Structure 1
Amino acid sequence: MMVLGGRSLQLIYALLILLRMQTSVGFNSTTGDHEIKCIESERQALLAFKQSLVDEYGRFSTWGSEEEKKECCKWKGVQCSNRTGHVTMLTLFGLRGNLNPSLFELQHLVYLDLGVNNFNLSHIPESISSLNKIQHLDLNSCNLSGSLPSQLANLTSLQFLDLSYNEFNIKNLEWLSPLSDLQFLDLSDTDLSKVNNYWPEVINKLPHLSFLQLYRCNLSYDLPQSIPMINTSTSLAYLDLRVNNLSASTFQWLSKFNKSLVHLYLSYNSFQGLIPENVGHMTHLETLDLSGNQFGGIPKSSGNLCKLRYLALSHNNLIGMLPELISNLSGCLQLSLEELILGENKIKGPLPDMIKNFLSLRHLDFYDNQLSDNIPKWFWNLSSWAFHVNLSSNDLYGVLPNLSTTKFADSFGLEIDLSKNKLEGPLPVFPVDVTSINLAENSFSGSISSLCTITSGNLVFLDVSHNQLSGKLPDCMTRWTSLAILNLADNHFFGKIPSSIGSLSRLESLGLQNNNFSGEIPWALRNCSALQFLDLNYNSFSGIIPAWIGERLSSLNFLLLRSNNFSGDIPLQLCWLTNIMLLDLSNNNLSRSIPWCIHNLTALAQKENSARDHSFPIRIDADPGYDGRYVDKASVMWKGMERDYGNGNLKNLRIIDLSSNKLTGEIPVQTSALFELVQLNLSRNQLTGRIPSDIGQMGKLESLDLSQNQLSGHLPGSMSQLNFLSTLNLSYNNFSGRIPLSTQMQSFDASAFVGDPALCGLPLTPTCPGDEKSQSKPTDGGGKDNQEDSAEFWKSFKPGMELGAAIGFVGVLAVKFDHPWKHLCFQLFNNVRVRLSNLKDCLYLLVAAVGFLVREHVSRLGRKLRLFEPSVSS
């Protein structure tokens, strides 16, 4: 049974309070045949509030000043009392603009919900005190800021208050003390560090408070030793203090609520050592989340928690043998516990028989420990309804039994994760209703035909990657109509992809890489229009790249076809993949030109990131950073090395790799419009022509490989603007002229330019031909761009003489120390975009700058000193 999360309970509390208010205040706009008329002053206040806002979702479509729109009690989001006609309830969302104080002229408001709006860092006005009848106030996620007005203390009828996820500057919580009727309080994601030593004392003064959420509030590391408990709430049932800096002293305060607490969340704080024994005195607890701390042991008193259904201790420092830890949970807890999460600890040993005594337990998570055991047969008969088993990342071994005959065979929504173990043998037969199967990174062998027994259509997730499975894929995928994730990578499958794959209309991620699949990409795959991730790398697929990939799979973020036998041209329709983040067509037999429409890959040209992780049905555990989503993994050629990416990093890449094909023609000038591209690899093709002159616009480029082509011409001067470039290979082409001067270009090894005999300049050669004859003026690099840059520099040189004097001093040091200062010299002049061929040119300009400055000052001293004036022309 799934324990309700914070947001679910928030909604329940809000509903209960709303129902209570409805018993005392009518919200209908009509009573029988009598229609309640809008009060004019309140209508004007609503219209004034509207004027400061932009409507994102049409909530104001019924608001207006026309005759037919005068009855504000009929407007969307507005409800009035059926007795007085006053506006008593206002619910609006999706608005953007300023929070107009006119809203607080609605002095009869009982219920105000403005959650999830954007009020542009507006402050809550002091006039909010006029809402002295308000019982429900929800301003969560509104982009509000500033200090909270002390006038909030006047809202003494408040029962529900949510100010979470804003930018408030809160220095004290004293305004909470008079709100004695408050039952629900959420200040999550608000910095309360300045009131750390006082917040428990203030909470103690709210006798009816039953729901308190202070998630990620930067609460203090230590609490005061003595906290007055006068008027302490005896109603506090839900307490969420996750992601703070609380320590063991917190439990002293919590002990005062032993008889009321039902749900307690303390994950990701600074707790250490043993879990305090007094936890066992909180006998009404149903949920206890202590994950993400440094607890080292479980007290025996935990077995006294007779009502506890959910216990999360993952990501702690639990050590020792699993049988010993489980024995500390023995007692009446064995009858109630439904979910036990002990993942990411240092627990060793076998799976103890005493787990059988937990009669209500699967949701069972022992992932990422050091368990070593041949999974016993009794384990699969723990319960007739257990639905979640996670034993991943351990040292479990052996062969799995026929799981279709176990007690959970009729369980709906069964999720099994045994990945990253040492299991072997054939895949078992699974129950027909299974929802999620993860057996990745084991040693299973044989075919996957046993999966064809899954016939209910509930299977959403299937990952059997990194095993030793083989054979052809069975043509039974028509039964998996709900499948969203299918990962068969790194096995020994062969043959063609069956046409039944077209039945997977909800498929988001398909990983078939590192197998021996052959034939063409099946036509039926065009029906999988929800695909975002498609990895066919390292197989034997052949034929053309279908145009329908661009036409029908428009949601693709990642398309990886590397190391296959695809031939023909790159279809223009691939330019329609506006969401693509990673396009890898390398190491095939593709020919003809690169599509000119490449700039239409807008996700590589615009800052908006459309890539997303895929829905994953595995239960959300105690980690607040884990949102129950599956992260795709892929092998990517990054800066010349093949690396595996996953864990959320993959979606941060922006890559086009068309290397090792037979592409011809020029690099499209439109390539320069891919401003967000991080890596471009066009190497080992037959490309001709020049590098696009505006390539410097690709300011985020970190890796550029154009090697082993037939490119020619000068290197564009704009390449000096690629400030993030850390990997460059232009070798074995026909480039000529001077290498542009920049911090990056001169930092590369000469091997980046080898095989281009007509190139000159650092780091290949110290000078270019003709430099010796033209030292009286800066060289132009042999190109028009460099001539323009040089002329622009000389035109603006004189106004910068004083700066030149400082640089000149650096030049003198460069003469003496040469190598360390040489690069600094080049960097300084690179900022004014001067193309310098060598150290001599750099020093010449430095000395010339000094000369200009000296002449300017010496001329003021008179005729005699002019005899010493240096000549710039010499």
Structure 2
Amino acid sequence: MHVLHLFCFFRILRPCLAALPRSSHDSADKLTLLSFKSMLLDPAGSLASWNSSNHLCSWRGVVCGRRHPERVIALQMNSFSLAGRISPFVGNLTFVRELDLSNNHLDGKIPEELGQLRRLQVINLTRNFLEGSIPAALGRCTQLLYLNLGFNHLQGELPSEIGSLKNIVFLNLVANGLSGQFPQFIANLSSIQALGLGNNTFSGPFPSFLHQLPNLSRVSIEFNNLSGVIPPSFWNISTLIGFSAAGNAISGTIPSNAFNNFPHLQVFYMENNLFHGRIPASLGNASHLSRIQLHTNFFSGSVPPEVGKLKDLQFLKLADNFLEANETIGWEFVNALTNCTQLQMLELAFNRFGGVLPGSFSNLSTSLFYLILENNTISGTIPEGIGNLINLQGLDLSNNHFTGALPSSLGMLQSLNGFSVANNKLNGSIPLSIGNLTQLNYLIFLSNEFGGTIPRALGNLTNLLELLLAYNNFVGSIPIEIFNIHTLTIALDLSHNKLEGSIQTEIRNLKNLVELHLESNMLSGEIPSSLGECQLLQNLYLANNLFTGSIPLALEEMKGLEILDLSRNNFSGQIPEFLENLSSLSHLNLSFNNFSGEVPTSGVFANATKISIQGNDELCGGIYYLHLPTCSSESSKRRHSSPVILVVIPLAATLGVLLLVYLFLTCHKKKSSENRSTESMEGHPLISYSQLVKATEGFSTTNLLGTGTFGSVFRGTLCCRNYENLVAVKVLKLQTPGAHKSFEAECEAMRNLRHRNLVKIITSCSSIDSKGDDFKAIVFDFMPNGSLEHWLHPGASNQLEQRCLNLHQTVSIIFDVAYALDYLHWHGVAPIVHCDLKPSNVLLDADMVAHVGDFGLAKILAEESSSFQPSTSSMGFRGTIGYAPPEYGAGNIISTHGDIYSYGIIILEMVTGRRPTDNTFGHGLSLRKYVEMAINNRVMDIVNIELVTELENENARVDGAPNRKMLHSLISLLKLGVLCSEETPSSRMSTKDIIKELHAIRKALT
């Protein structure tokens, strides 16, 4: 029955129900609950028992009273995977004391009718997708003890009626979009114990009334827009157990006696604010403190040794301040910390610690997981006893002044995942004991003075994703064992050493490597054809060596190659034609070799700014702006035989360079008469508003590619002299709340990112439009095959309507997205969480290579840049229903695990062809449960019909039966999606394991 009809029917029937005898009240409650059920989607069958054949009190999630056994007193429906809206009929359950609909996928508004439930003591609606404002009517629920509306999409100001809830003990509204001044009426909630208002946009000064709440024990007001100083009265709240005000603009100093009155304090988060002055020694008096986060402030002076009195201390994060130590003073706190036997994380990066690292570091707790000392001025040798910290997983000593050799005891750190000593002055050979660190994913030794040969023992590091040994003094040949590390995917950098010999054919084993640096060595011989088997290479640098021969045709297989630098070698022969067919190639440097013959004119060769060919005297032809001689029989002769040519060629080259500079500046000139305020991203070309208007034909609807919350995307053609470039222009909807932050987040996230599987940003524009209003846009490479969303769910008018993905394309796209996530989470300047991964944000280029885009919600975990840990504090999350991980509605954590969840849902969607928001299944986890129930006995019933057709066609059949390899691969993909979308974040797979599993799936298909 239609919901409106039910509502009308119920209003007519209600007076009659009230007149029923007492024994008939269970019929009234039953009718109410059936009406409530009618507005819900129940893909998991959680409400299967809700039918007329069962007694009301036996329905799952329904609790009836003892004094009134015929009346419903509680709805306990946590994690039922329900979707839809909360029916206003729930307001008729007048005996209800508890309403728990948490951890579902409900949307719409919170019904005002809840205010009718005067007996209500518990409302728990957290972890849903509820929107609109918080109803003022909730203030009438005067018996309320527990109100949890956290992690929804609620907006507006907090109604003052909430101040009437005199009995409330727990109030949690974190991670919504609530705004306005910080609510002063909270001071009326005299019974409050736990207050959660973090991750909203409340503004105003730090609340001055907190000391008036006599039972206050836990406070979360982080990541709002609070400012000013902390009032002295705050430091007298002796009941505090946990406090977080991180991510605001709170300033001032912390008083010297601040922690004298916190006997129960366990958690103290004040990072990402504007505090200055010294960290008070009284910190040691809060004897139960276990987690201290003061990073990213302006604290100065030394770390007080009194922190050693904190026996329960687990996290001490002081990075990104102005703390200091030197040869004689300032390091005493390390010796004191040896008393903290539960210490797990010590972050001191980006400070002013200098002098020699005290040996007491070796005596820190063996429970220490992360020791981060990067970007200081620490000198001397690394203590030999560092090997005592046997449970270390992350050790970052980079960007200091360490000298001497690496201690052999490092080989004892067999749990180590990441180890960096980059940019120091370490010397000697790499100890063979490093080969014992078999769990290493990242080994970064670049920019030191290491010498000797690269030890073959590095071949034991079979989990390495990245190996960086550049800018050292290594000699000898490249050990063949390195080429047998199949997991190397991100980068292998051996550049700027003194390596000799040739590149062994075994390099073919690095099939998934993205970046290879061998430049500036003394390597010789020819490029082996086996290098062409490294088909995922994006950047290949072989410059400044002694290589000979021609460019092997096998490199044609590198379809994703973007940068190829072969300059300053002894290569010869003609430039192969296949280079112009590599559509992804954006930079080609062949300069100072012995190439001869005609230069191609299409592809990368059509843009003189993307190629460098000087120093090859026997080249001819090419586009006009290269100013090479016309190809003829004479042009094949050496042109430096005439003294006149020795003058003409450099002169012509100089004029050519000047002309190119002029053309570039003309193309991107910022005309003050058009837009005086036009700005762009640093390192990217300038572009004006008028250029974008012209490129998109006035932002014509015919060029509209799509629209989202914060902006619309248009197809455009940027013209510069004789070449055109197709682009996608994302124009921000600046009137939308959060659009400015989205623009800044996307620009900041993309500023230093470069990976084959990320959408490449060309530039940004921050200017004034023709009406005088602010204008912001981001310009990207155009992706001709659209989004993954359009391929999975083509609409009636979609040009891709008749096209679909086969199994091999499906696996390749899943691979591409995994590589993108691996790079974002582990290989950038700082770990980045995308926060909005979904098919519409996965774009496909001309070769069907997937590129992840739209970083408008991205979170840069700068405070965790070296520890590779999830952030323990989040920014406001918006995400997308169905792809958002459950923990974003459960606690204040944004982490890399959240992206893995979204990735798992995408896998399930690609294989089943069903959206996570499909009405058949509801939202989010329901798709996962649907797959989980079918994966062992009826896989063919849930697989996308297009994949089923491929599986059963004649070409895919073996002896009249469906191809078992393909069926096994589909099952493996579904299991991968299920594992990645586990409800518990720590249970989800890592990108390293995902890539390994995908390799196995791809191998099984071949």
TM-score bracket, normalised by the shorter chain, equals 0.5 to 0.7
Q: How does 1:534-553 map to 2 (within 5 A)?
A: 534-553=467-486
Which residue does 1:68 correspond to in 2?
none
Per the alignment, do residues 826 and 535 of structure 1 end up closer, same or farther by CA in structure 2, a change over 3 Å counting?
A: closer
- Alpha carbons 1:693, 1:718 under 8 Å: kept: no
How far did 1:574 drift? Answer: 2.9
Q: Residue 710 of structure 1 contacts residue 733 of structure 1 at CA under 8 Å; is this kept in 2?
A: yes
Question: Which residue number corresponds to residue 542 of structure 2?
Answer: 658
Q: Is the 8 A contact 2:520 2:543 kept in 1?
A: yes
Cα distance in 1, alignment partners of residues 577 and 178 from structure 2:
54
Identity of aligned pairs, percent? 22
TM-score computed with the length of structure 1 as normaliser: 0.58
Contact 1:315/1:343, CA 8 A, preserved across alignment:
yes
- The 3 A distance-change label for structure 1 pair 287 and 533 is farther
- The Cα offsets for residues 674-721 of structure 1, whole Å up to 9 and x where unpaired, read as 444443222222223344434355444433322222233333343269
The match for 1:215 among 148, 151, 156 is 151
Structure 2 equivalent of residue 383 of structure 1: 310
C-alpha distance in structure 2 between counterparts of 1:702 and 1:155, whole Å? 66
Residue 252 of structure 2 aligns to a residue whose secondary structure is strand
What is the aligned partner in structure 1 of residue 125 from structure 2? 185
Does 2:377 correspond to 1:443?
Answer: yes
For residues 60-98 of structure 1, the C-alpha deviation after alignment (integer angstroms, 9 at most, x for no partner) is: xxxxxxxxxxxxxxxxx999xxxxxx9669xxxxxxxxx
Give structure 1 stretches of 5+ with no counterpart.
Answer: 1-48, 53-76, 80-85, 90-103, 113-130, 605-653, 746-753, 767-821, 832-874
From 393, 411, 417, the counterpart of 2:347: 417
**Partner of residue 284, structure 1:** 216
Question: Within 5 Å, which residues of 2 pair with 1:245-256?
Answer: 245-252=178-185, 254-255=186-187
For the Cα contact (< 8 Å) 2:122–2:147, is it kept in 1? no
* Aligned equivalents of 1:425, 1:764: Cα separation in 2: 50
Corresponding residue for residue 361 of structure 1: 289
**Deviation at 1:501?**
0.9
In 1, are the aligned partners of 2:604 and 2:610 still within 8 Å (CA)? no
1:703 aligned onto 2:587: yes
Displacement after TM superposition at 1:206 (Å) = 9.7
1:474 pairs with 2:357:
no
CA distance in 2, matches of 1:581, 1:438: 27
After superposition, where does 1:803-822 map in structure 2 within 5 Å?
none
CA distance in 1, matches of 2:74, 2:253: 58
Q: Distance in 2 between matches of 1:497 and 1:671?
A: 33
Amino acid aligned to 1:531: L
* Structure having the higher Rg: 1
Deviation at 1:496, TM superposition (A): 1.0
Q: Report the equivalent of 1:838.
A: none
Q: Corresponding residue for 1:802?
A: none
Cα 1:695/1:389, change in 2 over 3 Å: same
Contact 1:255–1:282 at 8 Å: present in 2 too? no
Give the Cα separation in 1 of the matches to 2:230 and 2:491: 45
Partner of 1:514: 447
Kindly provide the amino acid, as one letter, of the partner of residue 296 in structure 2. D
Structure 2 contact 290–315 (Cα < 8 Å) conserved: yes
- How far, CA to CA, are the matches of 1:829 and 1:317 in structure 2? 43
Describe how 1:747-762 pairs up with structure 2 within 5 A: none
Q: Check whether the contact 1:511–1:534 (CA below 8 A) recurs between aligned residues.
A: yes
Among 115, 138, 146, which residue is 2:79 paired with?
138
Change (3 A) 1:765 1:481: closer
Quick one: distance in 2 between partners of 1:426 and 1:829? 54
Q: Give the root-mean-square deviation of aligned CA atoms.
A: 4.6
How far apart are 1:497 and its partner, in Å? 1.0
- The corresponding residue for 1:170 is 108
In structure 2, how many angstroms separate the alpha carbons of the residues matched to 1:416 and 1:760?
A: 55
Partner of 1:869: none
Q: Distance in 2 between matches of 1:590 and 1:204?
A: 80
Deviations 1:655-688 (A, max 9, x none): 2222112222333444444444443222222223
Per the TM alignment, residue 239 of structure 1 is displaced from its structure 2 partner at its CA by 1.1
Describe how 1:159-558 pairs up with structure 2 within 5 A: 159-162=99-102, 170=108, 173-174=111-112, 183-187=123-127, 190=129, 192=131, 195-196=132-133, 198-199=134-135, 201-202=137-138, 210=146, 212-215=148-151, 217=153, 219-220=155-156, 222-224=157-159, 226-227=160-161, 232=165, 234=167, 237=170, 239-242=172-175, 244-252=177-185, 254-255=186-187, 257-267=189-199, 269-278=201-210, 280-281=212-213, 283-291=215-223, 293-323=225-255, 327=257, 329=258, 332=261, 334-361=262-289, 363-376=291-304, 378-395=305-322, 396-398=324-326, 399-401=329-331, 406=336, 408-409=338-339, 411-428=341-358, 429-430=360-361, 431-434=363-366, 435=368, 436-452=370-386, 454-455=387-388, 457-558=390-491
Inter-partner Cα distance in structure 1 for 2:413 and 2:437: 7
| 2:355–2:378 contact (8 Å) kept in structure 1 | yes
Is contact 2:523-2:546 (8 Å) kept? yes
Distance, in Å, in 2 between the alignment partners of 1:407 and 1:205 is: 49
Q: Structure 1 residues 510 and 213 mapped into 2: Cα distance closer, same or farther (>3 Å)?
A: farther
Deviation, 1:344, is 2.9
Query: What TM-score do the two structures reach when normalised by structure 2?
Result: 0.51
* 2:663 equivalent in structure 1: none
Assess, with a 3 A threshold, how the Cα gap between structure 1 residues 110 and 575 changes in structure 2: closer, same or farther. farther
- Residues 378-418 of structure 1: CA deviation (Å, up to 9, x unaligned): 43433233233223233323345466753643513343222
Query: CA 1:497–1:403 in structure 2 vs 1: closer, same or farther (change >3 Å)?
Result: farther
Shift, 1:473, TM fit? 1.7
**In 1, Cα distance between the equivalents of 2:599 and 2:138?**
69
1:688 counterpart SS class = strand
Q: How far, CA to CA, are the matches of 1:549 and 1:176 in structure 2?
A: 65
Is 1:733 the counterpart of 2:733? The answer is no
Matches within 5 A, 1:550-699: 550-604=483-537, 654-699=538-583
Which of 56, 60, 67 does residue 110 from structure 1 map onto? 60
Cα distance, 1:546 vs. partner? 2.2
What is the rounded CA distance, in whole Å, between the counterparts of 1:476 and 1:219 in structure 2? 55
Cα distance in structure 2, aligned partners of 1:597 and 1:152:
70
Distance apart, 1:555 and its partner CA: 4.1
C-alpha contact (below 8 Å) 1:153/1:175 kept by paired residues: yes
- Equivalent residue for 1:608? none
Q: Deviations over 1:615-634 (max 9, x none)?
A: xxxxxxxxxxxxxxxxxxxx
Matches within 5 A, 1:851-862: none
Instruction: Give the Cα–Cα distance (whole angstroms) in 2 for the partners of residues 698 and 448 of structure 1.
Output: 47
Which whole-Å CA distance do the structure 2 matches of 1:829 and 1:537 have between them?
35
- CA 1:209–1:560 in structure 2 vs 1: closer, same or farther (change >3 Å)? farther
8 Å Cα contact 1:493-1:517 kept in structure 2? yes
SS in structure 2 of the partner of residue 695 of structure 1: helix
Task: Give 3-state SS (helix, strand or coil) of 2:435's partner.
Answer: helix
1:718 pairs, out of 580, 602, 606, with: 602
Deviations 1:796-847 (A, max 9, x none): xxxxxxxxxxxxxxxxxxxxxxxxxx9777457999xxxxxxxxxxxxxxxx
Distance in 2, matches of 1:386 and 1:764, equals 62
* Aligned AA (2:228): G
Distance 1:410 1:762, change over 3 A: closer
Letter in 1 for 2:191: K
2:314 partner letter? F
| Separation (CA, whole Å) in 2 of partners of 1:739 and 1:132 | 83
Q: Deviations over 1:744-782 (max 9, x none)?
A: x9xxxxxxxx9799999988999xxxxxxxxxxxxxxxx
